[in-house]
Amino acid sequence: MAERGLSVLFVEKGPLGHRTEGQDLRADLSDYRARQARGFWPTPIETRIAGEGPQRFFAPLGSGVGGSSVFYAAAAEQPERHDLETTSAMPHPTGGWPVGFDSFRPYFVQAQEALSIRGEKDPLSDLPGPALDAPPLTEAEARMFDDFRAAGLHPYRAHEALRRLPGCTDCLGRKCPRACKMDGRSAGVEPALETGNATLLPNCAVEELIEGQGRITAVRVRAEGRDHLLQADVFVLAAGALNSPNLLLRSTGKHAAGCANSSGCVGHGLMFHLSEMVALWPRRGSPAVGATRTLSFRDLYTHEGQRLGLVQSMGVAADYGQIAGHLKGILARSRLRRVPGASRVATLAAKIGADVFGSATVLVGLLEDLPYVDNRVEPHPDDPEVPLIHYTISDELKARRALFRQAMRRTLGQHRMMLLNFGPSLNFGHSSGTLRFGSDPATSVLDVDCRAHDLDNLYVADASFMPTSMGVNPSLTIAANALRVGDIVATRLAATRRIAS
Ligand SMILES: Cc1cc2nc3c(=O)[nH]c(=O)nc-3n(C[C@H](O)[C@H](O)[C@H](O)COP(=O)(O)OP(=O)(O)OC[C@H]3O[C@@H](n4cnc5c(N)ncnc54)[C@H](O)[C@@H]3O)c2cc1C
């Protein structure tokens, strides 16, 4: 929008930050101000999962310029056609997104360009790969690709949003000190500011959307302890899939049920991906690969008529300490934490893996989550800054998870491998679906243009809009949709101005 000459104001709750920072998102830092200063979401979230008692912990959520994406691992993969619509091979669980794959496709390409995506064509797909080639593989990585092909799989170079400038240190899971990792800050906010048409208000939290005559007339913001009202022709909400619905639910000036909520759908349909992690040691005679982010494969994207998801390397190597720490972290959040001796079993499993095989490459399978109306987020009644999550792991999801694990075991069985999860592991960094777009105002919050059905000048451009969570990482689709919404708003404002003049 700024590039098209519109005047844009970014209102960001978190700090501007310094380009030289390179910190990762630390869950063990609990002090509100310390978290805020580093660009972490300052409060914990509270979860009530499958009727289990409340649990509070710090979710992987950013709060600063670029949001959570400055911490992301830069995997930016395009979804499959069946993620957005029904195909002959795979029905869509919602009947399809209101905008089909072919209409989205030009925005996927634009997003790939904006994020400088590098990678290779997926051999199982008819779609071209990203325009930029991936950097060369090491010898050990090339052997890993050969081993996967020998096992009948179709690996390809993962699609990553890294410009790989000289001295690139990968910055996966942490802030990049240069505009080398392409994220919401380097590919979105900074280029917008460079046009001279955009202004940024950091450390400024939107507290309420104020409504009048079917429009948003102003937002009330809080900065340095004082409230202000900001007005605009058009408002684009992009506070993330947990906080955008919370802000609408907290904006009760006109309606007790919250702003844009005549459907009662705001906050509902919350989805995460389930992460299935595997430690993979090289086949006998192949060199150890260690940390790599190079490989993806979609052989299990659908399996036995079920929607599963992408498998990709995570960019971490797992030695004994890491595997043990990881297993214990998962255990601490699972029901098994109460089983006597479970922690010792985790330690032992990690020790055996590391002693016998050495350092492992870690792969992650992203299992698609489907929208259930009762899975939802709302502001915590005692502290509105805390997202309160109600989530039930459905039998259907449990069954697909079991199928995914079985298929991963079978397809990776020629390697020495260890599944690292005990119970289901919800990826709290991949929340989506809480303000879904759709054609029917009774069952969706946003229309086809991602404009609120109830409000003429309120648009949404974050992970909330997605009606289904897809079998890939969400960022490329969030970016593509944001570009689409930007086009819609720019075209609308250009038309209004032509009429006015
Ligand atoms: C460690 C990590 C690794 C990840 N790796 C990947 C990956 O490899 N690939 C991938 O596709 N995805 C990845 N993700 C997920 C991806 O980062 C998110 O899906 C994406 O950033 C969500 O974008 P969003 O715009 O919806 O929200 P966010 O990026 O969370 O942005 C929301 C912004 O809104 C601000 N905000 C919230 N409330 C207010 C308010 N009231 N007033 C003003 N501002 C407010 C927040 O401070 C924040 O800056 C990862 C996430 C994490 C945390």
DSSP string, 86-107: --SS---TTS--SS-HHHHHHH
Q: For residue 491, how far is its CA from the centre of ligand 1 (angstroms)? A: 27
- Report pLDDT for 211: 96
Q: For residue 68, how far is its CA from the centre of ligand 1 (angstroms)? A: 3
Instruction: Please tell me whether residue 162 adopts helix, strand or coil conformation.
Output: strand
- Report pLDDT for 257: 95
Tokens 């056609």, residue?
Answer: 81
Residues linked to residue 367 through DSSP beta bridges, in sequence order: 274
| Cβ count within 10 A of residue 88 | 6
- Helix axis angle, 342-357 relative to 320-333, nearest 10°? 150
Ligand 1: which of 23, 72, 311 to mutate, judged by most atoms within 8 Å of the beta carbon?
72
Q: Please identify, by atom number, the ligand 1 atom nearest to the C-alpha of residue 472.
A: 11
Pick from 446, 118, 50, 172: nearest CA to 296: 118
Report CA-CA distances (Å) from 179 to 64, 130, 182, 184, 197: 16, 19, 6, 11, 20
Pick from 320, 316, 317: nearest CA to 346: 320
Phi, psi for 283 (deg, rounded to 5) = -65, 155
Give the rounded distance of the alpha carbon of 325 from its chain centre. Answer: 24
Residue type, 100: G
Query: For the chain, how far is it from start to end, CA to CA, in angstroms?
Result: 20
| Cβ count within 10 A of residue 100 | 13
Q: Is 102 exposed, middle or buried (CB count within 10 Å of its CB: 0-12, 13-18, 19+)?
A: exposed
Query: Is residue 486 predicted with pLDDT exceeding 60?
Result: yes
Kindly report, residue by residue over 369-399, the tens digit of the pLDDT: 999 999 999 999 999 999 999 999 999 999 9
3-state helix, strand, coil in the chain (%, to 5): 30, 25, 50
Query: Is residue 341 predicted with pLDDT exceeding 80?
Result: no
Ligand 1 touching residue 177 (CB < 6 A): no
- Report pLDDT for 495: 85
Phi, psi for 293 (deg, rounded to 5) = -120, 20
Q: For residue 475, how far is its CA from the centre of ligand 1 (angstroms)? A: 9
Q: Residue 351: which pLDDT band, with cuts at 50, 70 and 90?
A: low
Q: How many alpha carbons lie under 13 Å from residue 381 in its C-beta half-sphere?
A: 0
Ligand 1 touching residue 158 (CB < 6 A): no
Alpha carbon distance 476, 430 (integer Å): 12
Pick from 67, 427, 476, 73: nearest CA to 239: 67
Residues linked to residue 365 through DSSP beta bridges, in sequence order: 276, 311
Ligand 1 touching residue 96 (CB < 6 A): no
Ligand 1 touching residue 429 (CB < 6 A): yes
DSSP structure class, residue 338: G
Ligand 1 touching residue 61 (CB < 6 A): yes
Ligand 1 touching residue 364 (CB < 6 A): no
Q: For residue 186, how far is its CA from the centre of ligand 1 (angstroms)? A: 14
CB 464 within 8 A of CB 457: no
Query: Is residue 172 predicted with pLDDT exceeding 70?
Result: yes
| Cβ count within 10 A of residue 64 | 25
Q: Residue 444: which pLDDT band, with cuts at 50, 70 and 90?
A: very high
Ligand 1 touching residue 465 (CB < 6 A): no
CB 473 within 8 A of CB 489: no
Tokens 């990690």, residue?
Answer: 350
Ligand 1: which of 25, 38, 69, 77 to mutate, judged by most atoms within 8 Å of the beta carbon?
69
- Find the range with the poorest average confidence among 111-115, 129-133, 242-246: 129-133
Tokens 């955009």, residue?
Answer: 198
DSSP structure class, residue 494: H
Query: Nearest-5° angle of CA 379, CA 56, CA 468?
Result: 60
The stretch 477-489 carries a mean pLDDT of 98
Percent of the chain scoring above 70 in pLDDT: 91
Alpha carbon distance 241, 41 (integer Å): 13
Query: Is residue 407 predicted with pLDDT exceeding 60?
Result: yes
Looking at 395-443, list the stretches that DSSP marks H as alpha helix, in order from N- to C-terminal side: 395-411
Residue type, 241: A
- Find the range with the poorest average confidence among 236-250, 352-366, 397-411: 352-366
Residues linked to residue 155 through DSSP beta bridges, in sequence order: 297
Alpha carbon distance 69, 137 (integer Å): 26
Q: Please identify, by atom number, the ligand 1 atom nearest to the C-alpha of residue 461.
A: 25
Provide the total of helices (H) and of strands (E) in the chain, helices listed first.
Answer: 10, 20
DSSP structure class, residue 221: E
Tokens of 396: 């259907």
Q: For residue 208, how far is its CA from the centre of ligand 1 (angstroms)? A: 20
